[in-house]
Amino acid sequence: MMVLGIDTSCDDTSASVMESGRVLSNVVFSQIEHSKYGGVVPELASRDHIRNILPVTREALREAVVSLKDIDGIGVTYGPGLVGSLLIGMSFAKSVSLALEIPFVGVNHLEAHIFSLFMGRKINFPLIVLIVSGGHTELVLVEGEGEYRVLGSTLDDACGEAFDKVAGMLGFPYPGGGEVEKIAEKGERDAIDFPRAKLKGYDFSFSGLKTAVLYHIRKKPPSEKDIPDIAASFQEACVDSLVFPTLALSDRLNIRTIGVCGGVARNKRLRKKLNERAKGCKTFFPPPQFCMDNGAMVAGCAEFHLERGEFSPLTLKVNPSLTLPTQSP
């Protein structure tokens, strides 16, 4: 089966062609004009998706050396995300489905991130998955194909959002999470004792950490040589806040397979510390190019549903607040 995957959930326009689990192309156009506003402007994002969706799809087809007539089905993110952005991808995918008379499936963006772990390899069930991105931080028990239980989530900010906010405090343009990681390599991780939220269960909280960094900077405006230490200490607090609940859940359930996906899964310090601490566990991360929002993970998730005959009606609406479909404990 050859599937076209479309993702326009936020500010990246992406299209991918996948055939029987093999990625033939994955094209991502990242919008840069939002940096001057310090965050994504939904109206501008929607307009850029309108401009980019067709050329991005054409490029994905060209790189895969296929044409639209070769496509057997199409998948598109229908939530969660920015409603205007989602509508562009949804409208485009429905149009292609109608024109080619091929099946169409709406894909849950969070489930697609989980599917990014499985591209090109087999992972045995059950496993614990940490979804960590700019908009979400969740701990999920994956008991089988399409079988999910959310056992922990952020009570306030997502981890990726905290990275971007602290980047702004340190003078880096949006999105600055990657810059924080880069400058942190030059700093001392224990230079500043930033707080780690101590919560019952397996939930997360980053608002207190973010505020602590803000107060530290206000109390003592950093010189250029102080910034690496602030970045490294903040990053270490974030990583600890992710790693320890994940390992605690692994111990409680006696599940020794752990996957991490989402944009923050690219973070080298997170990968290193989890691998160091997860004694006796197998850890999995997507390749860096599949951590960020991309059409390939949407195509992979869509292929799974299409092969099971799980099609979506053309009346399907976008859902900006969509959650992961979960099973009762």
**Residues contributing to the annotated binding site:** 109, 113, 131-135, 164, 177, 181, 267, 293
Contact 208, 197 (CB under 8 A): yes
Q: Phi and psi dihedrals of 272, rounded to 5? A: -65, -45
Other Cβ atoms less than 10 A from the Cβ of 67: the count is 9
Residue numbers belonging to the annotated binding site for substrate: 131-135, 164, 177, 181, 267
Distance CA 146, CA 148 (A): 6
Determine the residue type at 212. Answer: A
DSSP-assigned states of every residue in 138-157: EEEEEEETTEEEEEEEBSS-
In the sheet where 137-144 sits, what is the strand order? Answer: 147-153, 137-144, 127-132, 257-261, 282-284
| Rounded-to-10 torsion of CA 133, 134, 137, 142 | -40
Write out the H or E segment, with its range, that includes residue 250: helix 227-253
Cβ distance 258 to 281 under 8 Å? yes
Phi then psi for residue 242, to 5 deg, are -90, -45
* Two tokens, residue 277: 């601490």
| Bind-site residues for Fe cation | 109, 113, 293
Q: CA angle at residue 280 from 133 to 238, to 5 degrees?
A: 30
What lies within 8 Å, CB to CB, of 43 at 6+ separation is: 84
- For residues 21 and 10, the answer to whether their CB atoms sit within 8 Å is no
